[in-house]
Amino acid sequence: MPTLKPLLLALLSLSAARAGKVPFSVTLSPHDPALACHSASTPVLTFGPPPPGTHSLAVLFWDQRPNQLSGRWLVFDLPLKTTRLDTQDASRLQVGGGKVALNDAGQPGYTALCARGRHDIYVDFYALDVPSLGVPAGTPLRKVHTLIHQHKLREVKAHLVRVMP
Domains of the chain: 50-68+96-165 (3.90.280.10)
3-class SS of residue 27: strand
Q: What is the pLDDT of residues 27-76, one digit of tens each?
A: 999 999 999 998 999 999 999 999 999 999 999 999 988 777 889 999 99
pLDDT at 18 over 70: no
- The mean pLDDT of the chain is 86
The reply to whether the predicted model has a pTM over 0.75 is: yes
pLDDT at 129 over 70: yes
User: Residue type for 22, please?
Assistant: V
Rounded CA-CA distance 62/159 in Å is 10
